[in-house]
Structure 1
Amino acid sequence: MDHTDLHAMDDDESPVMKTIKGATMGLAAGSIWGTIVATWYDVPRVERHVALPGLVRTLKMCGNFGLTFAAVGGLYIGVEQLVQKQRMKRDYVNGAVGAFVAGATVYGYRGKSIQTALTAGSLLACTSALLDIGGRTTRVDNGKEYYPYTTEKRPNVN
């Protein structure tokens, strides 16, 4: 491995790193959401060979939601980066294609039907396109730079 390969691995903006970050964030968000959903259900009765049925059920839900969100996040970012590289453009189409593939693949597989795949993919693609077209930001760049300190010297008080 030469020096350029090591530099490429350190780049935080590489498509591979973005995909890993998307999957990791999906895993974290899905695990948190799985915990929230698990609290909405009744705790199961004590079973004979399960020491902590509530904890086991909560961990299973965290894992299921975490893996689903990680798959969606990783596929979305990965496909978006591939489409961006092929098209040589950065616009809403890249995200829409990534969202469609992620939704259709993950939720289509879970729902075990083509109709579910097409519906989930289309809904995620529309959501992604709307967010990208809308700018998905709360700040407006007015060209000014703000510093937490002043650049002027204080008057000398004696």
Structure 2
Amino acid sequence: MSDSPSPAYDPKPSLQYASVVGLQAGAVGAFVSAIQNALGNHSHGAMGFVTRTGGTIGFFAAMGATFALTEAVVANQRRKDDAVNGAVGACAAGFLAGIRARSIPMAVGSCVVLGAAMGTFDYSGELTGEKGETQEERRKRFFKQPPKPLLEAVAE
């Protein structure tokens, strides 16, 4: 383990985070539903993406909100911001996917697969040390910096 002190935990607003992620996931669900409607062979017309495949929109929104709410609640309870929070949130979203398929084995399997995938993804970000990096630090690291004398000449 490292000897450096862990940074102070900043609590997450659970409902606000879940609402935002749920709306974003619902927008992705609307896009997927529109694609399903366009590729399907039916007589429902353009509104088929709501009437025929509209359940996709709600399902995506529910999975996104479930993930975000669970992740925020677990993080607030543990007072830690690490890979476990994302893994638990993804497990809850995966369990919801299995319940939609009306299969407990599928729910448990989806929980394990999505939880492991998200936990690994979050953990690998922590391993590379880029988790606490700000956008300004990334920008400075990405773009070449001019030599010091040129900066001083421009400042004068």
TM-score by length of 2: 0.70
Larger radius of gyration: 1
Task: Give the equivalent residue in structure 1 for 2:19.
Answer: 20
Task: Give the equivalent residue in structure 1 for 2:69.
Answer: 78
Cα separation, partners in 2 of 1:153 and 1:63, compared to 1, 3 Å: farther
Aligned-pair RMSD on alpha carbons? 3.0
Matched, 1:101 2:92: yes
- Detail structure 1 runs of 4+ shifted over 4 Å in the superposition: 140-147, 150-156
Gaps of at least 5 residues in structure 1 are: 1-12, 46-52
Cα distance between partner residues in 2 of 1:155 and 1:118: 62
| Contact 1:32/1:62, CA 8 A, preserved across alignment | no
Q: For 1:46-125, what aligned pairs fall within 5 Å after superposition?
A: 53-61=44-52, 63-104=54-95, 106-125=96-115
| Contact 2:30/2:49, CA 8 A, preserved across alignment | no
Q: How many residues align?
A: 132
Cα distance between partner residues in 2 of 1:108 and 1:32: 22
Q: Equivalent residue of 1:89, what SS?
A: coil
Task: Give the equivalent residue in structure 1 for 2:116.
Answer: 126
Cα distance between partner residues in 1 of 2:153 and 2:92: 57
Gaps of at least 5 residues in structure 2 are: 1-11
Cα distance between partner residues in 2 of 1:71 and 1:144: 33
Cα distance between partner residues in 2 of 1:128 and 1:21: 19
Match of 1:86, as an amino acid?
Q
Cα distance between partner residues in 2 of 1:152 and 1:28: 48
